[in-house]
Every structure is written in structure tokens, then in C-alpha cells.
């Protein structure tokens, strides 16, 4: 099967998205969504969010800001390996998510869309949105999909504990449930009481000048998102946001602690997510992944998920 690479037009679009200053990209997206006949709403006081009401009951989310002070002046794309990078960073998190959403629009899909600002500063845009709109503005929205996760095949649900939703995403679309720290849906989903997931889109080494984008993985996720949108109407109802229980048991010392003071720890041996309290997280057996920063227990300097993702990226290459 021939590897799916960027067409010339896709290359030009991707290059524009990652190299545009934030304000220019914000204005471009607002205009583009209106050209696609979306009902577009922006915040009244500045560049904080763009919300576009579509025709299909799924909402896609991505953020425009990056951790870098300036967009990359140039970047490189190896068509043979289907990989992009830049010595200036900023090629993936999360301009890649914006790019993938536009590709879906070009194909004729019309999901609801939210673009936010300042996700990297604690979700300021998402917070502004939920303050301006305390309730979900979409007539029908069954769940949220954020395209803002590194690696391959991860599905992050944060503090949403809707097990039916997690099973639906992981079993129907071949993702693996993985812990995560924060993204826009950490704010939007509990405010609007609708479940959401953040999916891997193929960038690695985010927040560093070693960031790379593996487009084979990005397009793999894109295929699954197409399936999500195409099959959404058969669900007939939204997946409700169900928060995690506040009390949880530390898997190390066995004591009960408030969930807000326990941390997810990946176990290589058990292939599972454990929860450690503040005292136990400082144990010598707990390491911190050299790529994603996730706490884990196991050999080496990489957590089980980054190790697996690295192996799968090599296979996909």
C-alpha cells in the first residue's frame, strides 16, 4: 500500500499554518470558516477563541498558540520518510491539529469546531469560552475530540470517568487509554457536561526544538476521526461527562487521598495506570519520562507509552 504523503497543496497549507503569526492565523481561520458557511462566533474582547457551529454532532478542538515566541522561519519535509521538523520548533503542538481539521473541511465534513488561544498558558481561551458560554451552544454535540496529543494511538480522557465513552473510543477506533495532564477539553468538558477525548496526532518531542511530525501517524488518526464523524449520528445521544470520584486509594501505600492530590503513574510491569499520593510519588522507584514527562515505574528513561510509540513509529517508517 502506497504511503500517504502531503500533496503540493497540503504542503503549502501546512507551511502557511505553522509559519503564520498567531493573529494572522486567527483571522485566516475566522474567514475560512465563514467561507465554508459556518455560523462563527468569536470573543468580544480579543483573540481568545473561535467557535463554529456545524452540521454533525461531534466537536473538534485545537489550539493556535505554541510555546515558542515566534513561528518557524523555515522547516523541512522529508517526503520519503513523511516527516517534518524545524530548528525553530513549532511544527506540531498544536498547529498540526489545526491543519488536520482544515483537511476535513476540504473533504466536505462539517463538525462543530473550536479553536482556542493560550492553551499552553493554562487553557485561558477555553476558560474564556466557558465563562462567556456556560452551556454548550451546539444543539447536538455527542462528544468532543481534541487533536492535541503527542505520539501514536493515545486516547486521553483526563478527569472524565465515563467508562462507556472510553470503551467506545478505544474499542471502536483502536486507541489506547493513556493518562494526561491538561488540554482545552479539561476545561470545556466539565463545564458543558459532555465527554471528550484527546487523540495522538503524530508529533513527538513537543515543547522542544527537536519536535518532529510523523504524517503517517497524523493521517492514521485522521482516518479514525473521519469514521467518528461518519458514524456519530447512530449514537443518538451525547456521552455525558462523569467526573472522577474525589476520593481514591494510593496504589503504593494503600491510604485514601483526595484525587486532586494523587498522580497517575504508568507501570511497565502491570501495563496499567497506578495512582500515587504526594508522599509516594517521591519514591526512588518512580521515574519521569525523558520525552513526555509522565511518571512511570519500569526500566530505562522512557515511560511504557513513549517506548511503545517509538517502536511503532519505527515500524510505520
1, pLDDT greater than 60: no
Please tell me the distance from the alpha carbon of residue 260 to that of residue 282, in angstroms, as a whole number: 16
pLDDT mean over 24-51: 94
Q: For position 313, what pLDDT does the model report?
A: 59
> Which pLDDT band holds residue 312 (cuts at 50, 70, 90)?
low
Tell me the pTM.
0.85
Alpha-carbon span 160 to 22, nearest angstrom: 30
Position 316 scores a pLDDT of 53
| Mean pLDDT, range 218-232, rounded to an integer | 98
Q: Pick the residue with more confidence: 306 or 135?
A: 135
**Which of the four pLDDT bands, split at 50, 70 and 90, describes residue 148?**
very high
Residue 172: which H helix or E strand, with range? helix 163-173
Q: For domain 8-234, say whether CATH 3.30.360.10 is its number.
A: no
Q: Using alpha carbons only, how large is the chain's radius of gyration in Å?
A: 19
> Residue 81 has what pLDDT?
95
CATH 3.40.630.10, the chain: domain bounds? 8-234
Q: How many helices (H) and strands (E) does the chain have?
A: 8, 18
Cβ pair 17, 230 in contact under 8 A: no
Amino acid at each position: 500500500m502506497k504511503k500517504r504523503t502531503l500533496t503540493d497543496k497540503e504542503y503549502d497549507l501546512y507551511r502557511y499554518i505553522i509559519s503564520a503569526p498567531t493573529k494572522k492565523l486567527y483571522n485566516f481561520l475566522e474567514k475560512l470558516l465563514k467561507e465554508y458557511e459556518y455560523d462563527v462566533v468569536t470573543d468580544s474582547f480579543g483573540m481568545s477563541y473561535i467557535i463554529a457551529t456545524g452540521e454533525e454532532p461531534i466537536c473538534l478542538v485545537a489550539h493556535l498558540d505554541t510555546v515558542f515566541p515566534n513561528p518557524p522561519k523555515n522547516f523541512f519535509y522529508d517526503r520519503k520518510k513523511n516527516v517534518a521538523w524545524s530548528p525553530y520548533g513549532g511544527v506540531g503542538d498544536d498547529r498540526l491539529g489545526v491543519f488536520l481539521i482544515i483537511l476535513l473541511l476540504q473533504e466536505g465534513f462539517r463538525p462543530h469546531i473550536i479553536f482556542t488561544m493560550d492553551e499552553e498558558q493554562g487553557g485561558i481561551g477555553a476558560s474564556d469560552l466557558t465563562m462567556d458560554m456556560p452551556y454548550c451552544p451546539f444543539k447536538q454535540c455527542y462528544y468532543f475530540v481534541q487533536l492535541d496529543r503527542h505520539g501514536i494511538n493515545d486516547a486521553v480522557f483526563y478527569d472524565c470517568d465515563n467508562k462507556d465513552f472510553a470503551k467506545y473510543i478505544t474499542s471502536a477506533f483502536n486507541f489506547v487509554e493513556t493518562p494526561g495532564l491538561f488540554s482545552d477539553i479539561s476545561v470545556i468538558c466539565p463545564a458543558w457536561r459532555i465527554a471528550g477525548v484527546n487523540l495522538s496526532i503524530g508529533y513527538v518531542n513537543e515543547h522542544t526544538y527537536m519536535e518532529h511530525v510523523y504524517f503517517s501517524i497524523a493521517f492514521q488518526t485522521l482516518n479514525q476521526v473521519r469514521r467518528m464523524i461518519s458514524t456519530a449520528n447512530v449514537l443518538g445521544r451525547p456521552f455525558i461527562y462523569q467526573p472522577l470520584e474525589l476520593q481514591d486509594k494510593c496504589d503504593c501505600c494503600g491510604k485514601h487521598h483526595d484525587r486532586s492530590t494523587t498522580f497517575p503513574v504508568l507501570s511497565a510491569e502491570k501495563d496499567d495506570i497506578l495512582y500515587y499520593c504526594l508522599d509516594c510519588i517521591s519514591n526512588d522507584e518512580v521515574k519521569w519520562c525523558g520525552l513526555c514527562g509522565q511518571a512511570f515505574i519500569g526500566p530505562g528513561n522512557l515511560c511504557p507509552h513513549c517506548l511503545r510509540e517509538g517502536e511503532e513509529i519505527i515500524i510505520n517508517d
